[in-house]
A and B are shown apart, each in its own frame.
Chain A
Amino acid sequence: MSSEALVEISNVDFSYNAQPVLKRLALRFPRGKVVAIMGGSGTGKTTVLRLIGGQLRPDRGEVTFDGKPVHRMSHAELYAARRRMGMLFQFGALFTDLSVYENVAFALREHTRLPEPMIRDLVLMKLQAVGLRGAHALKPSELSGGMARRVALARAIALDPSLMMYDEPFTGLDPISTAVIGNLIRKLNDALGATSIVVTHDVEASLKIVDYVYLIADGEVVAEGTPAEVTRSEEPFVRQFINGEIDGPVRLHYTAASYESDLGLDN
């Protein structure tokens, strides 16, 4: 990946309550590409998105967005940078007291002084892009999980962001919704001329749509490459993760005392 990076993470350490989550992490996200960050649950994938969005600060190292370090931006600079970012949250995070229409219109109303007819046109265009123009009058409580995710996607692209971040976009979706969302991620990236980061543990759905993959375990990059390179890899961790094997370098069990001693059988 040689093209210029929109987002770059250099040697970042991050810990929650003295528990290390990311260790010397280095990732590049080139302009115009869709890049996946894959790894098991609890490996710090979502933390990476929060560091890029400036919601968390690294203990060490640097996260840059368009060449500027995110955690050294002033409040105004950070909010200006966020206007160029869109984020799809794992469960949509729709505003439950607003209709689908008002959810998508929210950022437009907050950041622009567009007349109402233009806001209406833009909202309906964004909803059309995710196939939910007909659902504009519904409340979030009336939507299925997949529909809520698509509305959240329409809301995230309302200001035509240059960076789209997706936090586990495929979790809990049926195969058709998974394919729809996957297709949308790719199409929207190309249509907006944006850069996309997809945090996921869904190997099958993400390898179909991304240009590059980072595999993370224990807060470190353990493998990277194009989907073809990752699929061909012979590294034990990559094989175990891609094929969903039970046996391998990643252990199922959380660190514990011996099973025998816990059951009182060691005497």
Chain B
Amino acid sequence: MDNALIRGLRLVGRLTVDGIWQIGATTRFMGMVLLRSGMTFRRFRLLMDEIYFAGALSLIIIIVSGLFVGLVLGLQGYETLKRYGSAEAVGTLVALSLVRELGPVVSALLFASRAGSAMTAEIGIMKSTEQLSAMEMMAVDPFSRVISPMFWGGFLSMPLLAAIFSATGIFGGYLITVVVIGVDAGAFWSQMQASVDLREDILNGVIKSIVFGAAVTAIALFEGYDAPPTAEGVSHAVTNTVVTSALAVLALDFVLTAFMFTGV
């Protein structure tokens, strides 16, 4: 009985110490990323390369997914709203769903699996093949030269991707409801325009996507930097990035939604 109690206490102690250590390590890592950001903005080319890598190369998956999400939202929304005789409100439903929730959340999840996992793998492999050490020994700080530009590239790309996701989704909703089903185009756009608020809906959606972008990029970079320098270590880190980012995005979404839209 006593032994079980001691083992339980030890487990709680170990988990607590590990948790605190992890928080400390992540905070220190992010401090270094932010402190060593000078080069990123002095050498614009570094930032442009990372925006291309994290943003432009994610465009295909964002546009295709946005289109399909918009098509499905349009269909489901039309079928439901038609029962109450307000099929024209489908534009409002599609726009609000995308701008407030699905745009930031789904694009962050896609961003984590495409760009986040690639960032983790790149940093993890650079570490395990001593490329980061080699850079340090060439008197080039890996935080300034590689990690900070990646962070800012991801941070700036994510809101743009979310905006493109929402815009494509709205276009998908228009295609299926107006062009295919025959809902009146004027009603579709005017109802959307009347009910979507710039500050309340669009700005809050943008804030969400900025927070998600910072969280996903920070998680991806830390996991890569913290990965044990082995093949298994890097593969485990990539999995961790996708899982932790998804959970972080969904949890943050709940917290932000509670503050933004319900006045909690």
Contacts and interface: CB of A to CB of B under 8 A. Distances in A.
B129 A93 contact: yes
B129 A87 contact: no
B145 A87 contact: no
B137 A96 contact: no
14 contacts: A53-B137, A55-B133, A79-B139, A87-B134, A93-B134, A95-B131, A96-B131, A106-B140, A107-B138, A107-B139, A107-B140, A110-B139, A111-B139, A159-B138
Contact of B136 (A82, A86, A110): A82
B227 to A, nearest CB: 17
Nearest to B138: A107
A92 to B, nearest CB: 8
B133 A110 contact: no
Nearest to A49: B137
A85 interface: yes
B197 interface: no
Contacts of B140: 106-107, 110-111
Interface in B183-216: none
A89 B141 contact: no
A159 to B, nearest CB: 8
Contacts of B136: 53, 55, 82
Contacts of A106: 138, 140
B138 A82 contact: yes
B137 A85 contact: yes
B79 interface: no
B130 interface: yes
Contacts of B134: 87, 89, 93-95, 152
A83 interface: yes
Contacts of B129: 91, 93, 96
A110 B145 contact: yes
A159 B139 CA distance: 11
Interface string A157-168: 001000000000
A89 B133 CA distance: 9
A91 B138 contact: no
Interface residues of B, number: 13
A80 interface: yes
B139 A82 contact: yes
Contacts of A79: 139, 141
Contact of A82 (B131, B137, B145): B137
Interface in A188-235: none
A83 B135 CA distance: 11
A71 to B, nearest CB: 15
Given A91-B129, A94-B134, 15 more contacts: A53-B137, A55-B136, A79-B141, A82-B138, A83-B139, A86-B137, A87-B134, A87-B137, A89-B134, A93-B133, A96-B131, A106-B140, A110-B139, A111-B139, A111-B140
The 5 closest A-B pairs by CB, nearest first: A93-B134, A82-B139, A93-B130, A87-B137, A83-B139
B130 A91 contact: yes
Contacts of B130: 89-91, 93
A72 B251 CA distance: 43
Interface string B113-147: 00000000000010001110110111111000100
B17 to A, nearest CB: 15
Contacts of A93: 129-131, 133-134
Contacts of B139: 79-80, 82-83, 107, 110-111
Q: Which of B129, B130, B139 has its CB near the most chain A CB atoms (within 10 A)?
A: B139
A109 to B, nearest CB: 10
Contacts of A94: 131, 134
Contacts of A95: 131, 134
A168 to B, nearest CB: 12
Contacts of A83: 139
B101 to A, nearest CB: 37
A80 B134 CA distance: 15
A91 B133 CA distance: 12
A169 to B, nearest CB: 14
B144 to A, nearest CB: 10
A87 B133 CA distance: 10
Interface string A105-137: 011001100000000000000000000000000
B45 to A, nearest CB: 11
A79 B129 CA distance: 21
Contacts of B141: 79
Interface string A41-66: 00000000000010100000000000
Contacts of A53: 136-137
A55 B138 contact: no
A82 B134 CA distance: 11
Q: Which of A91, A93, A111, A152 has its CB near the most chain B CB atoms (within 10 A)?
A: A93
